[in-house]
């Protein structure tokens, strides 16, 4: 029995060469619509699908391959005598190769199209044929990825056949694709925050040398349904990115994106180690560097404005893994690219994720992103913060959002002086932040921000001894009164933000 291949592709890259190869191996080609026309115009012998179905395509092409003469030829088990007898009685020929790629719903759903126009890019016949062929992979070679054309050619040339292992893998790729495709459509149509089933549609963007540690395998996947800062960045220089690099980049970019003012953020091990605002990027960097010139070494530095020549010269004085910014001046690039390994990343998109996902053993936790700063600002002490102190408090609050809990940030003049995070006790986080501030700065008239309420007055007592003049914290503790009284006793102003920012 002569073998047949059904070809229906939206992306026609490489299909002419592959079709010619199949014809050269004595395989008949069936095709549909635009693919049929494309193959015919390029002098490839091809049978129109309507000749197989004895039914003209209808409804603007919505119905053309959804027919027993097609799916019978795909789904029939070749070693099942009853199946083969049925095909013979119905005059249906088997289909041995199915080459299909889908309408570009992933891409079109993000374009400026109407809802109705986007609906038209939901492929029905394509996934149906692919799934039929994938189920019958023992008898049918199914190709959903143009990158697999060469693999099939090599196997046929070497053994005049396609191995069971390859068929099985190609079938797995089909269900991997169609599940992501269906997930994207589900998200588009359902538009629910927390649907009954969690459907994710992500595509592998890059393989990584290893994960968080060298013995862990890793890959990076990007969301098919959104743009996103960590999806659409551009690397200008340096080694390939690692698992830890992307995590740190994400955090650093989120910090600087909190500010409209010129901001610089240094990150080490997914923790801010220095953040500052400045009149220009050079000043912002100098102030961020001063917070912790030790930890910044080998870290990541992010800016929310273009990196200029003066800043590039300073950046080149120490070892950094990554510099991320919306742009680099030409002279800055000339300076920074002298170091071949430093990764220079251009990132223009603001963070846009609406949900955060955390994997636990046997499940996934899903929550809204922490995209609010405060619920309400209430001065709860007799003393009121000065205008500058209030600016510093809001600055510190924006930073403390991104520090591991328990978290304390000490700041002055729109510059972090000390950061304490990841402690199991809030007083320990405060001790670390204030100690670090005292090591490098004059800790007079400084401000302190906390990610959560003070369970006791001990943080205020410690702050008093270290020159803190203003505090911002969510409030809500049963012991709030004790902290307020301690502030009043020492002429410290305190604001309740009424919104917690735990970051586990």
The catalytic residues are 135, 269
Burial, 228: exposed, middle or buried (Cβ in 10 Å; 0-12, 13-18, 19+)? middle
Cβ neighbours, 10 Å, residue 260: 8
Which distant-in-sequence residues (6+ apart) come within 8 Å of 351 by Cβ?
Answer: 228, 229, 253, 254, 257, 369
Q: At what angle do helices 480-489 and 458-465 cross, to 10 degrees?
A: 20
Rounded alpha-carbon distances, angstroms, from residue 228 to 132, 218, 317, 359: 35, 20, 31, 20
Residue of 166, 159, 167, 402 lying closest to 275 (CA atoms): 402
Which DSSP string corresponds to 84-149?
HHHHHHTT-----EEEEE---HHHHTTSS--HHHHHTT--SHHHHHHHHHHHTTTT-EEE--GGGH
Is residue 447 within 8 A of residue 411, CB to CB? The reply is yes
248 HSE (CA, 13 A, CB side): 28
Is residue 256 within 8 A of residue 304, CB to CB? The reply is yes
| Distance in angstroms (rounded) separating the CA atoms of residues 231 and 220 | 10
- The helix (run of H) or strand (run of E) holding residue 267 is strand 263-268
Residue of 29, 31, 28 lying closest to 2 (CA atoms): 28
| Distance in angstroms (rounded) separating the CA atoms of residues 392 and 379 | 15
């Amino acid at each position: 029995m002569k073998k047949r291949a059904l070809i229906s592709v939206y992306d026609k890259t490489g299909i002419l060469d592959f079709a010619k190869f199949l014809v050269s191996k004595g395989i008949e080609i069936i095709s549909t619509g635009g693919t049929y026309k494309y193959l015919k115009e390029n002098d490839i012998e091809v049978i129109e699908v309507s000749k197989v179905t004895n039914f003209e395509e209808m409804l603007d092409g919505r119905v053309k391959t959804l027919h027993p003469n097609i799916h019978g030829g795909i789904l029939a088990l070749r070693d099942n005598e009853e199946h083969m007898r049925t095909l013979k009685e119905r005059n249906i020929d088997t289909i041995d190769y199915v080459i299909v790629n889908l309408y570009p719903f992933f891409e079109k759903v993000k374009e400026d199209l109407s809802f109705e126009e986007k609906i038209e890019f939901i492929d029905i016949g394509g996934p149906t044929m692919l799934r039929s062929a994938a189920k019958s992979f023992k008898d049918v070679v199914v190709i959903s990825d143009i990158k697999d054309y060469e693999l099939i050619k090599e196997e046929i040339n070497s053994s005049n056949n396609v191995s069971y292992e390859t068929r099985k893998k190609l079938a797995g790729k089909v269900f991997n694709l169609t599940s992501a495709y269906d997930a994207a459509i589900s998200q588009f149509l359902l538009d629910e925050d927390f649907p009954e089933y969690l459907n994710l549609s992500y595509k592998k963007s890059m393989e990584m040398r290893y994960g968080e540690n060298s013995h862990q395998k890793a890959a990076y996947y990007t969301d098919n349904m959104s743009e996103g800062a960590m999806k659409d960045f551009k690397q200008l220089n340096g080694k390939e990115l690692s698992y830890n690099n992307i995590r740190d980049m994400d955090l650093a970019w989120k910090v600087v994106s909190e500010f409209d003012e010129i901001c610089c953020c240094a990150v080490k091990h997914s923790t801010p180690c220095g953040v500052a605002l400045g009149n220009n990027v050079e000043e912002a960097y100098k102030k961020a560097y001063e917070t912790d010139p030790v930890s910044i070494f080998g870290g990541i530095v992010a800016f929310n404005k273009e990196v200029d020549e003066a800043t590039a010269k300073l950046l080149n004085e120490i070892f950094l893994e990554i510099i991320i910014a919306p742009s680099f001046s030409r002279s800055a690039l000339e300076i920074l690219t002298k170091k071949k390994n430093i990764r220079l990343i251009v990132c223009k998109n603001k963070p846009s994720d609406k949900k955060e996902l955390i994997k636990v053993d046997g499940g996934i936790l899903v929550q809204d992103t922490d995209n609010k700063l405060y619920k309400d600002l209430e001065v709860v002490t007799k003393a009121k913060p000065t205008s500058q102190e209030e600016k510093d408090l809001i600055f510190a609050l924006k930073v403390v959002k991104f520090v591991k809990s328990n978290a304390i940030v000490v700041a002055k003049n729109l510059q972090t002086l000390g950061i304490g995070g990841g402690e199991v006790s809030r007083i320990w986080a405060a001790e670390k932040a204030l100690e670090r501030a005292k090591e490098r700065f004059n800790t007079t008239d400084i401000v302190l921000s906390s990610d959560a309420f003070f369970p006791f007055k001990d943080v205020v007592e410690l702050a008093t001894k270290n020159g803190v003049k203003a505090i911002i914290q969510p409030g809500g503790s049963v012991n709030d009164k004790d902290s307020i009284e301690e502030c009043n006793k020492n002429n410290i102003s305190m604001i309740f933000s009424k919104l917690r920012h735990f970051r586990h």
